[in-house]
Structures are given as structure tokens and as C-alpha cells.
Amino acid sequence: MGNSLMRGVLFAAAISFAASPAFAAKCGNTGAGFNKWVAQFSKEMIAKGYSKSNVKSSLAGLKYNSKVIRLDRSQKSFKQDFGKFYKRRTQGMVSKGRKMMKKHRKTFARVEKKYGVPASLLTTIWGLETAFGHFSGKKPIFQSLATLAYDCRRTEFFTNEIVSALTIVERGDLKKSQMLGAWAGEIGQTQFLPSRFVKYATSFDGNRKIDLYHSVPDVLASTAAWFKGEGWRRGQGWEEGSHNYEVLKGWNRATVYQKTIAKLARELHR
């Protein structure tokens, strides 16, 4: 089977699994049933067609991570008023962002030509998510995702993410050992959740290997591919109430974060 066909088949498998109403592995609100959940989930994934070697190696040795649960319950910064949130998250970001736009101007130009997403918006996302790659995270992604998928608060959402993580390994994009990220399982310099990676991550540096950890062209093009794929309209603004602002909302559900992206991107666009 060709690589592109394999990618399509596995993406379809991930989507169909996430949409399926039948899911035997039961969620829990303590770590007591976690090992049983992993065992049942592993059986289901093998039954869905994922290779035994992938499932066993990717899900081996996972432990319930109570710290991840606490972090999921305590995202207090998103409850701040916009002024405080914006000041805290964007300190020094305009000057640093402009330097990055200048440094990578050729890449930004290529990306915008293909996807229609301006450098100012991509720079904003890049800076806010990881300070331009400095804080991508080092937590084992499968452990975080398994904990959150087992937890009853958002089990459907994170089950889709761990299925997508298995798809990434199955496709050969990343190995389990390479999949390190933030506490909720985000990957790379603009913090792609695995489902976003499966659908939109792309190689843009000429080597045909997707690398959202180290390759700036891949990071920027993949982020732009997400915006284009979600309906971004080339050449239009992103003021509140506009079509592009609605697209921007899909990046993060927190209102203060959405407003911060829009305002910072406008500052960098000047």
C-alpha cells in the first residue's frame, strides 16, 4: 500500500472510531480502574485494525497521572479579564515576533503564497503557544492522553486524541519515544493535538518528513494548513464578527485567548 493511501486509510479509521457510539472501555474518576481501561482499550484498537506491535508498545507501562488531572481542572488563567491576560501572555512578544518574521521572511512568504495565511497570524500563534519553540513540553504524550481519555470529564474528546496518536505512530510519522509535549498531549512548536497533526501536519522543508519539533517550515506550513482547512479566507481581516475571526475561534475555545490572538496579530501586521 502506498504511503499516501496508508495515511488516508488510517485517518479514516481514526475518524470512524471516534464517531462510533460503542466503546467498551469504561471511564473513571480515580486511578483505580485505569489499568483495566488500558487493557480494554488496547483490545479494541487491535480489533479496529491497528497493529499489535504499535498498540502494545505505545500503551505499555502507562500510569494514571493525577498531576495531569489537576492541571485539566485548574486552567485559571483563562478566567482572567482580557487586559490582564493579554499583558501577561504578550510581554515582549511584539519585538520578538517582528524579529522572527524578518528572520524567516522567505518561509513566511512561501507559506502565505500557498495557504493564504499572513505571517503576523502565524507568528502570533507560534509565540503564544511555545515562545517560538522554546517551551514545547517534555511530557510523554501517550501517558497524558491515556489519563485524560480514561477520565470521565472529557473522555470522548481525548479518546479521539489517543486514537490519533496511535495513527501517527502507525503511519510512521513519529515514534512513541519522540512523542513528548505539553500536559494535554500537544505536539510541537504550535501545539498540535494528535487529531490536528493527523489531518493537517505537513512537510514543507523538502525532506518529506514531518517535523513539528525542529523544522520551522513544517511548523508554519502545518499551522497555515489548519487555518486554510478550517475555512480561512485569503486577504481578509480577522476583526471580531468576521468570518476569519470565527475560524480563529477554532484554534482555542477560551475567549480571552481568541481576543489575544486577534489583537497581537494586528500589532504584528502593522
Per-residue pLDDT at 20 exceeds 50: no
Share of residues in the chain with pLDDT > 70 (%): 91
Per-residue pLDDT at 18 exceeds 60: no
Residue 196: name the closest of 169, 223, 220 by CA: 223
Per-residue pLDDT at 21 exceeds 70: no
Residue 148: name the closest of 56, 51, 73 by CA: 73
Mean pLDDT of 17-42: 81
The per-residue pLDDT for 75 is 76
How many C-beta neighbours within 10 Å does residue 59 have?
Answer: 20
How many C-beta neighbours within 10 Å does residue 113 have?
Answer: 9
Distance (Å, rounded) from C-alpha 123 to C-alpha 102? 11
Mean pLDDT of 34-60: 97
Helices (H) and strands (E) in the chain, counts: 14, 2
The per-residue pLDDT for 14 is 52
Per-residue pLDDT at 213 exceeds 70: yes
pLDDT digits 0-9 by tens, 140-153: 999 999 999 999 99
Per-residue pLDDT at 1 exceeds 50: no
State CA 35 to chain mean position distance: 26
- First vs last Cα of the chain: how many Å apart? 48
Grade residue 74 by pLDDT with cuts at 50, 70 and 90.
confident
Domain extents for the chain? 3-71+138-182, 92-136+199-269
Per-residue pLDDT at 67 exceeds 70: yes
pLDDT digits 0-9 by tens, 29-38: 999 999 999 9
pLDDT digits 0-9 by tens, 190-202: 999 999 999 999 9
The per-residue pLDDT for 76 is 74
Per-residue pLDDT at 19 exceeds 60: no
Q: Average model confidence (pLDDT) for the chain?
A: 92
Question: Does residue 180 sit in helix, strand or coil?
Answer: strand
Per-residue pLDDT at 6 exceeds 70: no
Per-residue pLDDT at 2 exceeds 70: no
Mean pLDDT of 125-139: 97
CATH code linked to domain 92-136+199-269:
1.10.530.10
* CB contact at 8 A, 166 and 54: yes
How many C-beta neighbours within 10 Å does residue 245 have?
Answer: 17
Per-residue pLDDT at 47 exceeds 50: yes
Mean pLDDT of 16-36: 75
Per-residue pLDDT at 9 exceeds 90: no
Mean pLDDT of 224-235: 98
State CA 105 to chain mean position distance: 24
* CB contact at 8 A, 253 and 263: no
Mean pLDDT of 116-142: 97
The per-residue pLDDT for 24 is 74
The per-residue pLDDT for 23 is 60
